[in-house]
A and B are shown apart, each in its own frame.
Chain A
Amino acid sequence: MIDTLFFALVAAVAVVAAVAMVVARRAVHSALFLVVILFCVALLYLTLSAEFLAAVQIIVYAGAVMVLFLFVITLLNPAAEQQLADVRSHGIVAAVLAGVLLIEVAAVLRWGTLAGQPASFPPPAVPWSDNVQAIGEGLFTTGFLLPFELTSVLLIVAIVGATVLAKRRL
């Protein structure tokens, strides 16, 4: 019961912050609302006993990625932001399309293959404190080793690409 209440509270904050992020007139406000959403998602990860991902979410997303966003917001011209604030003309069409998408997802959830499954979560297979160890073992022993190494190549490519794009003269 208390868990459902906690979920409802965090979910309400996340949804309100998401709507505020979309309608905020200034990009800085949108960024701060996104931080709120990221923290809410990290809290939900904790309730799902994924504490490693919750920590990574806060460090990488709410830390590194959002700092990058704020740097770029300050780099760009704040005066040009006023005309960027108003929405594009096809806002109603977009809202209708998103509503249709939401109804589709809800229909899949309601009548999809999951419909016959029990709704509640089973008891955890690994104890709460072994999450990091379980992720490490899964990452390095169950066929995710090559993707993990490829990730480092991807990050190098992203660093080089960002440097080439952002520097005026190499």
Chain B
Amino acid sequence: MIAPLSYYLILSAVLFSIGVVGVLVRRNPLVMFMSIELMLNAANLTFVAFSRYFNTIQGQIVVFFILTIAAAEVVVGLAIIVSIFRSKATIDVDQVASLKG
């Protein structure tokens, strides 16, 4: 039959942690965004695994909504990155520190 539930949960925890490292370590905002997408996917995998485990469809519906929100988030975030690059000529997250106190 299917691999045990815990395998899926462990895999998603590992993927989520790798995504956390990517967001914290990289200074390219595009790669940071991709790491956020990785974390969202790890959470989605957990949702689908539990949806299958408890034999309910709600988990998959929630993943459907997360997909939509992730798409909207990527669109707005990439537009912000493009406009930052236009005004500052750099997208280094350590250089874009105008609001730093």
**A and B bind:** yes
Residues of chain A at the chain B interface (Cβ within 8 Å):
3-4, 6-8, 11, 14-15, 18-19, 21-22, 24, 27, 30-31, 34, 37-38, 41, 44-45, 47-50, 52-53, 56-57, 60-61, 64-65, 68-69, 72-73, 75-77, 80-81, 83-88, 90-91, 93-95, 97-99, 101-102, 105-106, 109, 114, 117, 119-122, 124-126, 131, 134-135, 137-139, 142, 144, 147, 151, 154-155, 157-159, 161-163, 165-166, 168
CB-defined contacts of A60 to chain B, threshold 8 Å: 67, 71
- Give 1 or 0 for each of B72-86: 1 = CB within 8 Å of chain A CB: 111110111111011
Measured CB to CB, the closest approach of chain B to A72, in angstroms, equals 5
B52 touches A121 (CB 8 A): yes
Check B18–A22 contact: CB distance below 8 A.
yes
Q: Which of B3, B18, B31, B70 is A98 in contact with, Cβ under 8 Å?
A: B18
Given A47-B2, A61-B37, A101-B17, A85-B28 contact (CB < 8 Å):
yes
Is the Cβ of B8 less than 8 Å from the Cβ of A98? no
A27, A120, A125, A147: the one within 8 Å of B28 (CB): A27
Q: Which B residues are in CB contact (< 8 Å) with A72?
A: 30, 78, 81-82
Residue pair A94, B25 in contact (C-beta under 8 Å): yes
Assess whether A73 is in contact with B48, with CB atoms less than 8 Å apart.
Answer: no
Alpha-carbon distance A11/B45, docked complex (angstroms):
12
- The number of A-B residue pairs with CB atoms under 8 Å apart is 242
Known contacts A52-B60, A97-B20, A166-B82; A41/B37 CB under 8 A: no
Closest to B46 in A: A105
Q: A19-B18, A22-B18, A69-B74 are in contact. Are A31 and B61 (CB under 8 A)?
A: no
B residues lining the A interface (CB < 8 Å)? 1-11, 13-22, 24-28, 30-31, 33-35, 37-38, 41, 44-45, 48-49, 51-53, 55, 57-58, 60-61, 63-65, 67-76, 78-83, 85-86, 89-92, 94
